[in-house]
Every structure is written in C-alpha cells, then in structure tokens.
Amino acid sequence: MAILDLLYPKHCPICRMVLPPGKTLICAPCREKIRYVTGPTCFKCGQPIQDETAEYCPNCRRNPPAFEEGIAWAQYSSEALRRMMAEVKYHQDPQLLDYPCLDMAERFLTKVKSWDAEALIPVPVHEKRFRERGYNQAEEIADRLSAVWGIPVDASYLVRSANTEAQKNLRNTDRLLNLNRALSVNGPAGRYRSVIVIDDIYTTGSTAGACAKALKAAGVRKVYNAVLLTGRS
C-alpha cells in the first residue's frame, strides 16, 4: 500500500496538496474549512433552516418534492467546497471525492440504515455529457457511499434520455420542466420498494424531485435523497 501511495499519491480534496502515505484523505487545516450541515434542518430535504421552530424550508413548503426525506453532508456556500466540486466535475479528478464521501457515509450510517433502501440510484447524465467527462460524478459518489453503507449501486435503472440544458443555467420555474420528460426507468416496474437517489449538489430540489417522480411512476414506493452539498448555487 505504501508503494502505491508513492506511485499514485492522494491529494487533499480542498487545497490539492499531496498527502502523506497512509489513510489520511484530507489535511488538517482544510478539514476546518468544511461547513457541515448542522443545527436545524428541513424535515424534508435536509437543507439548513434559520427558523428553529420551522419544520420545512420555504422551498419544501411551497412545492414539496416527491421524495420522502433527504440528507446533505455540507453547505455549498463554502468557497472551498465549490472549488472542489468544480475540480471533480470539470477537471476529471474524482479522487477528491474520497474523503467527503467517507465522512458523509459514516455520519449518516444510522439514518440510512433506518431507510431500509435496496439500491443507490445515481442521478444520470446524458451519454454525450458522460463521454465528455469520462464519468458521472453522482455514480462516483454512490460507489463510495455504497462501500460503507453496504447498499448496491444501480447506475442503469434511471436514465436520462435527453441532453437537457444544465440546471444551473435555468430559472427555478424552468428546472422541473427541463427534466420531467428527460428521465425514465430502464427496467421492470416494481424492481425496488425503496431506493436512495444520489447526487453531488442540491439547490432547488428540481432534479431530485424529477428523479423521485420517475422512480415512483415505475413502482418504487419510497424514494430518499442523499447529496454531498446543499444550498443555493
């Protein structure tokens, strides 16, 4: 293992410095830069909320998503984590996901076990975008979470049949319409009773909601949502 570390050294996901050989996946100073999701959170999507007496965030009160419950590891408002996700998505460096996914998996292990899910379903990307990046970051996240949670990944069940415009480029009212016709299930209806949709970032919830609708239309009874980062883009 030490030889592999020397030949293929790991990098801190935030500052990109080479890490010493061993099990260290993030440097100590950068661990302090992570803005974890703590305190009161929305009972539905898991986003932080300022009003401790509120049960749901404004988004979920106005338009409740189709999934049962969601969890999120850290806040997207952190500049350090924004840079990390940009490196993962646009500079072909999925190794940077190792620490965030391990930490998230361990933090939410008890919660996820209570969901009794049968599969992790990564949010799909269109084949064209997959070829451009070489991988789907949601699937990379799901694979790492699966190693701790012990839930298999099914990356072929939910598919994106249209190469839709990036969600970040659309107004909130257009995001759900952008996805509703683009997602479908590839497989027999009723294959799963309970699944967890996996993605990198949760903002308005339109992507997670569209995935949940497609899965429930195919007979999935309960859909949960798990993301690394949450917050407005």
Whole domain around residue 174: which residue ranges? 41-230
Q: Please check whether residues 165 and 63 belong to one and the same domain.
A: yes
pLDDT tens figures, 142-191 = 999 999 999 999 999 999 876 555 545 445 555 556 666 688 898 888 89
Q: Please check whether residues 8 and 98 belong to one and the same domain.
A: no
Q: Please check whether residues 55 and 3 belong to one and the same domain.
A: no
Query: What is d(CA 206, CA 189) in angstroms, rounded to the nearest whole number?
Result: 23
pLDDT of residue 178: 61
Burial of 47 (0-12, 13-18, 19+ CB in 10 A): buried
Q: Please check whether residues 161 and 48 belong to one and the same domain.
A: yes
Q: Please check whether residues 18 and 78 belong to one and the same domain.
A: no
Q: How many domains does the chain have?
A: 2
Query: What is d(CA 194, CA 131) in angstroms, rounded to the nearest whole number?
Result: 30
Query: What is d(CA 60, CA 75) in angstroms, rounded to the nearest whole number?
Result: 18
Q: Please check whether residues 126 and 13 belong to one and the same domain.
A: no
pLDDT of residue 162: 64
Q: Please check whether residues 27 and 55 belong to one and the same domain.
A: no
pLDDT of residue 170: 47
Q: Which residues, listed in sequence order, are joined to residue 155 by a DSSP beta bridge?
A: none
Structure tokens at 151: 């839930």
Query: What is d(CA 103, CA 48) in angstroms, rounded to the nearest whole number?
Result: 18
Does residue 120 contact residue 195 with C-beta atoms inside 8 Å? yes
Structure tokens at 127: 């084949």
Give the predicted TM-score (pTM) of the model.
Answer: 0.89
pLDDT of residue 167: 45
Q: Please check whether residues 77 and 173 belong to one and the same domain.
A: yes
pLDDT tens figures, 182-219 = 888 988 888 999 999 999 999 889 899 999 999 999 99
From the list 100, 68, 72, the residue with the least C-alpha distance to 87 is: 100
